């Protein structure tokens, strides 16, 4: 692949990755949008890293900001693939541990409750396609596989857990399905690389556990990103 574009929500999630490649920001590339572009030409490929940017003093997170950043990235950069990398919650009952790196093999929403098993219910869940090579990447590079499940909240309410369990969600994040939705509209392949900051079924307080493990998990995802870039750039 000649043109790889990462979409990442938080600066802290991307920083180890940005530092590794020594890339610098292309100022105001997406203006007036707050999204930020970091770009570097590698031997075989152009590497783009797009962050949501900030509003009102904090990094934009969640599904609306992810939709905007993904759409802007596709429109302006025309990537061969969008890679949504970052941190997530997971379930120890599925065998996940803090710091584990997963490749997404599917993606859904868990907090869009619209009645019915019909077209409305199908749309609400999403279940967008992921990059056809995702399973092979995980197997070849030694990563776990899991289904990304996205909601707009850091916590998990009983109604969220019910939908996650019924639909076999494993990697709880706040952007993945929005990124995949926009990619589906533009027919751009999407790949997920997620490392675990917190265990949804550990009994620990999520925000405390997330904050404590953010730097470590971001380093783990940075290492994984580099392996995937090498793999895709040669392919």
Contacting residues toward a second copy, per CB under 8 A: 32-34, 55-58, 60-65, 67-68, 71-72, 109, 111-116, 118-120, 122-124, 152-155, 157, 159, 177-178, 181-182, 184-187, 207
User: In 10 A of CB 210, how many CB atoms?
Assistant: 17
Active site residue 198: yes
Please give the distance of CA 17 from its chain centroid, rounded to a whole number: 14
CA atoms of 61 and 58, how far apart (whole Å): 9
Q: Give the active site residue among 170, 173, 175, 198.
A: 198
Please, what is the minimum distance in Å from the beta carbon of residue 20 to a second copy? 27
Judge whether 13 counts as a catalytic residue: yes
Our CB check for a second copy shows the closer of 62 and 133 to be 62
The DSSP letter of residue 43 is: S
Among residues 13, 100, 160, 209, the one annotated as catalytic is: 13
Determine the Cα–Cα distance for residues 186 and 111; give it in Å rounded to an integer: 23
Instruction: Give me the least distance between CB of 222 and a second copy, in Å please.
Output: 23
Minimum separation from the CB atom of position 34 to a second copy (A): 7
Rg (CA), the chain: 16
Of 94 and 167, nearer to a second copy (C-beta) is 167
Question: C-beta of 185: minimal distance to a second copy in Å?
Answer: 5
For a second copy, the closer CB: 93 or 123: 123
d(CA 42, CA 234): 11
Q: How many whole angstroms separate alpha carbon 205 and alpha carbon 155? A: 9
Place of tokens 């079924």: 201
DSSP-assigned letters across all residues of 170-228? -EEESSHHHHHHHHHHHT--EEEEEEEEEETTS-S-HHHHHHHHHHHHHHHHHHHHHHH
97 C-beta neighbours (distance < 10 Å), count: 10
Provide the token pair at 109: 């929403």
Query: Closer to a second copy at the Cβ: 22 or 57?
Result: 57
Residues 234/1, Cβ–Cβ less than 8 Å: no
- Nearest distance, CB of residue 27 and a second copy, angstroms: 17
Closer residue to a second copy (CB): 112 or 144? 112
Which amino acids are annotated catalytic? 13, 198
């Amino acid at each position: 692949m000649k043109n790889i574009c990462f979409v990442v929500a938080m600066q802290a999630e991307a920083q180890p990755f940005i530092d590794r490649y020594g890339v610098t920001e292309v100022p105001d590339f997406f203006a007036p949008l707050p999204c930020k572009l970091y770009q570097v030409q590698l031997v075989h490929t152009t590497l783009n890293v797009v962050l949501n940017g900030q509003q009102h003093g904090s990094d934009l997170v969640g599904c609306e900001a992810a939709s905007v950043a993904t759409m802007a990235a596709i429109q302006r950069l025309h990537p061969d693939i969008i890679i949504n990398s970052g941190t997530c919650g997971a379930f120890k009952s599925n065998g996940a541990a803090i710091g584990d790196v997963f490749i997404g093999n599917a993606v859904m929403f868990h907090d869009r409750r619209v009645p019915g098993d019909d077209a409305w219910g199908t749309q609400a869940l999403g279940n967008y396609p992921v990059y056809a090579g995702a399973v092979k990447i995980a197997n070849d590079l030694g990563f776990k596989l899991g289904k990304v499940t996205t909601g707009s909240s850091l916590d998990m309410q009983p109604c969220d857990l019910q939908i996650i369990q019924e639909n076999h969600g494993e990697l709880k994040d706040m952007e993945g399905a929005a990124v995949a939705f926009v990619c589906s509209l533009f027919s751009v392949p999407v790949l997920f690389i997620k490392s675990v900051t917190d265990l949804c079924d550990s009994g620990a307080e999520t925000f405390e556990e997330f904050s404590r493990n953010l730097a470590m998990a971001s380093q783990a995802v940075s290492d994984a990103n580099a392996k995937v870039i090498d793999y895709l750039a040669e392919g």
